[in-house]
Structure 1
């Protein structure tokens, strides 16, 4: 199938485009959220950058939507309506914001575009109304067991921890910094030590590293710390488990399902997490043993093959829907270029 999707969430897209289809990613000269394209990623040749404005509408077999605004964008530019004359599915990456647990999903109560949640917690948390919804859990391209744990540090991966504050558990970091030095990876980590009131000798912002470098550097830390309060399920946690790292995880949203106790610790009791972090930092062999368990659990539940098989099944069902090629008026869609010259 030829699948149209925007490059919105890099880590999820990294797994999705390694499937068995052809992937069409809109690109704009200025990039940005509506035209990021491949963004220099080392993706298969089946991932093609396209100019949506000139894309032949009939060259798209299905669209994977990730933002509500994409529905009108596709309809306007391609002349085909997602869920009507173009097979479509909507992927919900995020936990609901606002009046939880009463937050209604933007696609609630419609019956033309199925909703795919990336975690079971998300499906439970959103009010989907009568919309058809399912769960396809994350898949992670296996980076290999790179863990060395040579540094007695806690590794954290979080984007914008200063701005996001309690959402990302930034307020919890000072207590963990007393257990061991923190290495914090991710976008906009500059100024985090001052914002969190932690001495620079106890917190090192590492910035936004390329994926391979991130994995290599993170795997040198003794323990992975995941203090997020309200996130769908941080893919960095699953990546750390794939690396063979022991993990200390706040038991919020999907984390208790993703992390078995033998992988380290998962708890809402901060004192319990601090005790486990202290024990693992002081005991490299115990840390390594827990990391092996973490990797085994991640490979079993979040392996790339399982993810791709689940998506292949859903996409095949989309292709069998009666809406596939014609608009409600019976006309075959024309290309964007033909519409412009008409």
Structure 2
């Protein structure tokens, strides 16, 4: 295990779930704060992270930052302006790429492809494979999340899907596929904008946007977790469902083929085959329990928080050396 003395890290709050895991690493994280807030200065956004604090951007230059965690191309220039030190040249930096390339798979060049001085961190092997990273040295640090506990009951013979903005992001998130499952058993849909699909199918039931604890409790009461995303990095809600002990029915796209073992439910690009598996899990609760236990075991061993933080400590030790 790599031991790293606590570092002072400049970090933007971009993806809440990923940041929730990262700030548990024992380092001191400083989040930029602007009076008007917005995407570049939202600070903690109300999160209670003891190891993190929000700092007005005009005070950042007075901090002795050890490393910068970049997550958007604009942050390279903002960090240089606010720190009075250039990331990758005058202060160590890494760039975390959370997303799959758009618009074109396999041929999209990464914004940092011409930079050999900033390590490019992909959160999945699929992302590393598909992005044209050019000169940037790359490494994969898979996701890891805090364990919400084995809470699955499956008492409701429903499916559940967690999708933000399912109407606007329809084909990307696979929202158009949900009616095929709702024909078999009700599908309860949670996430920002889930109500926008209201009326699309009588058994498709929007549940709104819940806080994590409420969402974990509600999801775990449903019998099957549905993951219909066609094109996404690796949804942390999928990993959370597996940690809860839920059986999974998922499209075999992007990183899901590695994240979901075959005995945890069903993974396929054949929607008819997935619908058949969904029906079996809905109507055979004992089978669903066994599949959920396999999902949880795999998630704990491959996407646990301790492994995630250890990988990050190893990487940060290399970057600041």
Q: Shorter-normalised TM-score: what interval?
A: over 0.9
Q: How many Å apart are 1:25 and its aligned residue?
A: 1.1
Q: TM-score, normalised by structure 2?
A: 0.96
Distance 1:307 1:97 in 2: 26
Say whether the 8 Å CA contact 1:139–1:307 is kept in structure 2.
yes
Q: Which runs of 4+ in 1 moved over 4 A?
A: none
Q: How many Å apart are 1:59 and its aligned residue?
A: 2.0
Say whether the 8 Å CA contact 2:10–2:67 is kept in structure 1.
yes
Question: Residue 310 of structure 1 aligns to a residue in which SS?
Answer: helix
Distance 1:69 1:34 in 2: 9
Provide the residue aligned with 2:149 in structure 1.
144
Say whether the 8 Å CA contact 2:61–2:82 is kept in structure 1.
no
Provide the residue aligned with 2:131 in structure 1.
126
Q: How many Å apart are 1:57 and its aligned residue?
A: 4.1
Larger displacement relative to structure 2 (185-194 or 233-242)? 185-194
1:62 aligns with one of 49, 59, 67: 67
1:49 aligns with one of 54, 59, 74: 54
Distance 2:104 2:278 in 1: 34
Q: How many Å apart are 1:179 and its aligned residue?
A: 1.2
Say whether the 8 Å CA contact 1:180–1:281 is kept in structure 2.
yes
Say whether the 8 Å CA contact 2:178–2:204 is kept in structure 1.
no
What does 1:19-168 align with in structure 2 at a 5 Å threshold?
19-43=25-49, 45-168=50-173
Q: How many Å apart are 1:109 and its aligned residue?
A: 3.0
Mapped pair 1:8 → 2:9? no
Distance 2:115 2:41 in 1: 28
Question: Residue 91 of structure 1 aligns to a residue in which SS?
Answer: strand
Change (3 A) 1:136 1:236: same
Unaligned runs of 5+ in 2: 1-6
Distance 2:62 2:150 in 1: 43
TM-superposition CA deviations, 1:264-314 (whole Å, max 9, x none): 001001111001100000011110110000000000000000000000011
Q: How many Å apart are 1:225 and its aligned residue?
A: 0.2
Provide the residue aligned with 2:229 in structure 1.
228
Provide the residue aligned with 1:287 in structure 2.
288
TM-superposition CA deviations, 1:29-54 (whole Å, max 9, x none): 443322222222232x2111111222
Larger displacement relative to structure 2 (253-262 or 46-55)? 46-55
Provide the residue aligned with 2:4 in structure 1.
none
Distance 1:29 1:149 in 2: 45
TM-superposition CA deviations, 1:85-140 (whole Å, max 9, x none): 01100000000001222100000132110100000000000001121001000001
Distance 1:54 1:3 in 2: 14
Provide the residue aligned with 2:263 in structure 1.
262
Q: TM-score, normalised by structure 1?
A: 0.90
Distance 1:42 1:260 in 2: 34
Say whether the 8 Å CA contact 2:33–2:56 is kept in structure 1.
yes
1:179 aligns with one of 176, 184, 191: 184
Larger Rg: 1
TM-superposition CA deviations, 1:137-180 (whole Å, max 9, x none): 00010000011111111010010000001000011011111011
* Structure with bigger RCO (C-alpha 8 Å, 6+ apart): 1
Task: Report how many aligned residue pairs link the two structures.
Answer: 315
Unaligned runs of 5+ in 1: 321-342
Distance 2:285 2:31 in 1: 44
Say whether the 8 Å CA contact 2:61–2:84 is kept in structure 1.
no
